[in-house]
Amino acid sequence: MDLEFSAEDEEYRQRLRAWLKENVGGGGDSPNAVMKQAEEDPEAAKDPLAGARAWPRRLHDAGYVGLAWPKEYGGQDASFTQQVICGEEMAKVRTPPLINTIGLSIIGPTLVQHGTEEQKKRFLPRILRADDLWCQGFSEPEAGSDLASLRCRAELDGDEFVVNGQKVWTSLAFLSDWMFLLVRTDPDAPKREGISYLLLDMKSPGIEVRPLRNAAGGQHFSEVFFDNVRIPKKNLVGELNKGWSIARSSLDHERSGLSGVVALEETLGRLFRMAGKVDRGQQKSVEDQSARRALAQHWIAIEGLRHLGYRTLSDQIAGKPPGAGSSVGKLFASELRQEMTRTAMDLQGPFAPIAKRSPHVVDRGRWHAAYFDALAHSIGGGTSEIMRNVIAEKVLGLPRAQED
Amino acid sequence: MDFNLSEEQEALQDMARDFLSERWPRERVREQLDARPALVDDDVWQEIVEMGWLGVAASEEAGGIGGDIMTAAVLCREAGRGVLPGPFQSSLVAAIALERSGDKELVSGLLSELIEGKTRVSVAIDESAGLYGGASVAAHASESSSGWLLSGSKFLVPDANEADVLLVAAQTPDGPGLVRVSTEAEGVTINRMDRMDGQSCAEVVFENAPVEGSALVGGKDRGASLLHDVYDIATVLLAADLLGSAEASLELTRLYAIEREQFGKPIGSFQAVSHRLANTLVDVEIGISLLYGACLALDEGRDNAGPLVSGAKAWLSDAAVDAAETALQIHGGVGFTWEYDVHLHMRRSRCNAALQGDADHHRDRVAAYMSEDWVPQIKS
């Protein structure tokens, strides 16, 4: 048993650290960088997202995105340990968010696994360079946790699918160039057997995107309506009516979650410091024994999650089939994040209600945003209830909860 | 990067599990509960000795097999799963203390005798209620014309009634550490107590009891650090026992939820049942991860070994008790019967959760580590 990375991996880590030191905080998306880019490439300067695309492009040029993807499509063919190291180091220096995250983490790996040669060549390099931004068209008003009951229809008409229906909770739909979506292509088949997986150009006629304001006040997700939207048949992923298992595999992508651990750890450090500043009764919040125990319990939980991640990673390296690690990790991490932000709200005591830009606000109001953000984590990407169903059925071998 | 048990450790785990399920049936555990104290049968104990379990973490010179703390934890986890009573765990902790003393005479003498099952040794550290570990020891050994004499009292000492020798934590002329005292010596009073799970422990009172060798185990230089390490090792092995209990409760309940039908369906298909079991599974998986992390940190002598040990003990104290309570609830009426095994795991986990520092004690230790060492080095 050991937790050592190989000398080669450690060298990789050092190179990456040096690169990040040079490249993070220097501001790829700063106004100056955007201006400079505009001089070099006037066409790109017309793109309002040029700044946001600059960072993933820089990462790609340096070889730090698409780590798990094959080299022939612009990936790196990197080892599992290098993927973990990359995630950890980027989390440590809090690199800017990647505007092409959905492409990198969901549709990219799905196409690597299930796409045609033409689809891979066409889409993968553009995902890596953030030339194309992607959104996910899965959920519908009547198909949330029961995703397989989705109704959005697609009918073949010659060489094209014609799509009618609606998607909802579509993150970043209004920015996206492409959507991958699940549609019903055989209404008579059992519900999991009549679903297909399509790739849709968001510039196609007949699409209407209506942004929804979320509970935190932002406009992160949208409703998307389709009125006779036409999709060429070559944009079908996998076989007709076999989309369900492809979607399942994209939700199952094995991840050790170790970069998430770095982020939780950073949040806990910040939380501990905050509790040391805030007055609560006759003492600082952190001096209260129950507060200290809650913070300690978070530390213990984070260490548990970290070591669970090491077990998952070890299994990946050894080529073992995925164990309980990833579903347990997702459920545990999202609930831990909520418990931590709840503690953060509690430990602010009477200062908790004070909104940003008000006098006496704690940490410029960041805990309010963190609190709301954490609440979304146990809903998106499979609710905690669905994760428990998965654990009960797949790990514990209990009989299925719901009938199909 | 290989954070899983080695093939040898997995083989040991399988062997121990098979042995206990065959040679230590639950009927015997129930009988022992009525005939306190619960001790393992002599013939089973003899087999355990012959398999070398007591020497699992001792060097080959002492007749051991040279395993590490992780390997010792593998056996303690199975002891918890198999509801094996004393004096296995107390003997194992004593063996590790003697091995780490680095004292050649003790290793070739007392440790060899312990591993061969000829002499029984237990470690006595904790004293009055709520104070745990080497740091809060008040018992003291003082110089006299006939050598060191020990006074003070120890609480909840495992298997003290059956032990020949105790390794007792005390303040001494050479500083804090462990000293050897014969249970037969003058000035030693053992008040036996039974635990809720039937196991044997005792309050031990020393009144000018003679200390063998008039010296610290491990000598003046290493005495204090040995005491500190032994307490962490004893604590992590108790956490391993708790993990075994939690896994046993979960497995019993998992099987029951598949088999038992109500409303025409297996009860495991109801989310009120399956989600509770999923939560237990999560607790167990996190517990396994923390246990491995703590054992490895001890084996590699890492700086954060102490808080990781406390983390594992705190987490598994809660998890094992929750798992047992979940098991009882989901079994319903039969879970509340003497004949079902649920209460065996509940009793054991409840006892072990409270010993060597309950969950809150260990959370306090983690909190102290956080403010002193952890927060300053976390970048925010």
Q: What is residue B26's three-state secondary structure? A: helix
- Do B26 and B39 share a domain, yes or no? yes
- Do B303 and B367 share a domain, yes or no? yes
pLDDT at B128: 81
Residues A77-122: pLDDT tens digits? 999 999 999 999 999 998 988 899 999 999 999 999 999 999 999 9
Structure tokens at A9: 């991996």
- Do B265 and B293 share a domain, yes or no? yes
- Do B158 and B239 share a domain, yes or no? no
Decide if pLDDT at A403 tops 80: no
Residues B269-314: pLDDT tens digits? 999 999 999 999 999 999 999 999 999 999 999 999 999 999 999 9
The residue out of B199, B219, B239 marking a domain boundary is B219
Chain B residues with CB under 8 Å of A4 CB are 1
Q: What is residue B30's three-state secondary structure? A: helix
Structure tokens at A337: 């994040």
Asked whether residue B248 is domain-assigned, the answer is: yes
Domain containing B165 equals 123-219
Decide if pLDDT at A252 tops 60: no
Residues A132-159: pLDDT tens digits? 999 999 999 999 999 999 999 999 999 9
Q: Are A311 and B363 within 8 A, CB to CB?
A: no
pLDDT at A36: 66
Q: What is residue B191's three-state secondary structure? A: strand
- Do B195 and B234 share a domain, yes or no? no
- Please report, for the domain that includes residue B172, its CATH number: 2.40.110.10
Chain B residues with CB under 8 Å of A325 CB are 285
Residues 6+ apart with CB under 8 A from A142: A149, A150, A151
State which residue of chain B sits closest to A10, comparing Cα positions. B1
Decide if pLDDT at A30 tops 60: no
Q: Pick the most confident of A58-62, A93-97, B105-109, B342-346.
A: B342-346
Of A286, A293, A331, the CB nearest to B282: A331
- B325: alpha, beta or left? (left if phi > 0; alpha if psi -120 to 50): alpha
Q: Residue B117 to residues A66, A92, A394, B76, B165: CA-CA distances in angstroms?
A: 59, 52, 45, 18, 13
pLDDT at A48: 79
Q: Which of residues 5-24 of B touch A (CB under 8 A)?
A: 5-6, 9
Query: Is A31 or B321 the better-scoring residue by pLDDT?
Result: B321
CA–CA distance, A230 with A156 (Å, rounded to integer) = 9
State which residue of chain B sits closest to A331, comparing Cα positions. B282
pLDDT at B62: 84
Q: Which residues of A are designated catalytic?
A: 254
Decide if pLDDT at A254 tops 90: no
Decide if pLDDT at A299 tops 90: yes
Closest-CA distance, A250 to chain B, in angstroms, reads 23
Asked whether residue B91 is domain-assigned, the answer is: yes
Query: Which CATH entry fits the domain spanning A254-395: 3.40.50.2300, 3.40.50.720, 1.20.140.10, 3.30.450.20?
Result: 1.20.140.10
- Do B255 and B357 share a domain, yes or no? yes
Chain B residues with CB under 8 Å of A292 CB are 363-364, 367
- Do B115 and B183 share a domain, yes or no? no
Q: Are B293 and A306 within 8 A, CB to CB?
A: yes
Decide if pLDDT at B242 tops 70: yes
Q: Residue B8 to residues A1, A311, A390, B123, B272: CA-CA distances in angstroms?
A: 11, 18, 32, 28, 39
- Do B135 and B247 share a domain, yes or no? no
Neighbours of A346 (CB within 10 A): 15
Asked whether residue B69 is domain-assigned, the answer is: yes
Chain B residues with CB under 8 Å of A367 CB are none
pLDDT at B38: 84
Chain A residues with CB under 8 Å of B279 CB are 388
Asked whether residue B133 is domain-assigned, the answer is: yes
Q: Are A388 and B271 within 8 A, CB to CB?
A: yes
Of B216, B233, B278, the closest CA to residue B96 belongs to B233
pLDDT at A327: 84
CA–CA distance, A200 with A233 (Å, rounded to integer) = 11
Q: Would you mind telling me the total number of residues written for chain B in this entry?
A: 380
- A131: alpha, beta or left? (left if phi > 0; alpha if psi -120 to 50): alpha
Question: E strand or H helix at B350, and its extent?
Answer: helix B342-354
Confidence of residue A29 (pLDDT cuts 50, 70, 90): low
Residues A349-375: pLDDT tens digits? 999 999 999 999 999 999 999 999 999
Of B274, B289, B308, the CB nearest to A392: B274
- Do B205 and B167 share a domain, yes or no? yes
- Do B172 and B72 share a domain, yes or no? no
Average pLDDT rounded to a whole number, residues A228-241: 98
- Do B151 and B206 share a domain, yes or no? yes
CA–CA distance, A231 with A206 (Å, rounded to integer) = 11
8 A C-beta contact, residue B85 and residue B199: yes
- Please report, for the domain that includes residue B25, its CATH number: 1.10.540.10
Asked whether residue B242 is domain-assigned, the answer is: yes
The residue out of B156, B187, B219 marking a domain boundary is B219
8 A C-beta contact, residue A55 and residue A29: yes
Chain B residues with CB under 8 Å of A396 CB are 254, 268, 274, 277-278, 281
Which 8-state DSSP code applies to residue A397?
Answer: -
8 A C-beta contact, residue B24 and residue B84: yes
CA–CA distance, A341 with A295 (Å, rounded to integer) = 11
8 A C-beta contact, residue B211 and residue B147: yes
Closest-CA distance, A337 to chain B, in angstroms, reads 15
| Domain A7-99, second-level architecture | Orthogonal Bundle (1.10)
CA–CA distance, A307 with A328 (Å, rounded to integer) = 12
CA–CA distance, A121 with A111 (Å, rounded to integer) = 10
Average pLDDT rounded to a whole number, residues B114-143: 92
Chain B residues with CB under 8 Å of A398 CB are 254, 257-258, 266, 268-269, 274, 277
Give chain B's domain count: 3
Size of interface A-B (CB pairs under 8 A): 175
Which candidate in B1, B10, B235, B249 is best for mutational testing of the A interface (most A CBs within 10 A)? Answer: B1
Residues A44-83: pLDDT tens digits? 667 878 888 889 999 999 999 999 999 999 999 999 999 9
The hierarchical CATH code for the domain A134-242 is: 2.40.110.10
Q: Which of residues 127-146 of B touch A (CB under 8 A)?
A: none
Which 8-state DSSP code applies to residue A166?
Answer: E
Considering chain B, what percentage of its residues have pLDDT values greater than 90? 92
Of B258, B122, B240, B93, the closest CA to residue B190 belongs to B122
Of B257, B289, B364, the CB nearest to A292: B364
Q: Are A301 and B286 within 8 A, CB to CB?
A: yes
Question: E strand or H helix at A313, and its extent?
Answer: helix A289-317
Q: Residue B45 to residues A306, B19, B23, B111, B198: CA-CA distances in angstroms?
A: 38, 12, 10, 17, 17
Closest-CA distance, B199 to chain A, in angstroms, reads 30
Average pLDDT rounded to a whole number, residues B33-60: 92
Alpha-helical (H) ranges within A318-383 are 325-347, 366-377
Q: Are A385 and B275 within 8 A, CB to CB?
A: yes
Interface residue B255 vs chain A (CB under 8 A): no
CA–CA distance, B329 with B322 (Å, rounded to integer) = 10
In chain A, where the domains are located: 7-99, 134-242, 254-395
Interface residue B158 vs chain A (CB under 8 A): no
Confidence of residue A37 (pLDDT cuts 50, 70, 90): low
Which 8-state DSSP code applies to residue A2?
Answer: B
Neighbours of A192 (CB within 10 A): 17
Average pLDDT rounded to a whole number, residues A211-237: 94
CA–CA distance, B184 with B244 (Å, rounded to integer) = 34
Residues 6+ apart with CB under 8 A from A224: A137, A166, A167, A168, A170, A173, A179, A207, A208, A209, A210
Considering chain A, what percentage of its residues have pLDDT values greater than 70? 92
Asked whether residue B1 is domain-assigned, the answer is: no
The residue out of B71, B97, B120 marking a domain boundary is B120
Which candidate in B261, B279, B289 is best for mutational testing of the A interface (most A CBs within 10 A)? Answer: B289
Decide if pLDDT at B86 tops 90: no
- Please report, for the domain that includes residue B261, its CATH number: 1.20.140.10
- Do B373 and B244 share a domain, yes or no? yes
Of B4, B265, B287, the CB nearest to A314: B4
Interface residue B75 vs chain A (CB under 8 A): no
Q: What is residue A236's three-state secondary structure? A: strand
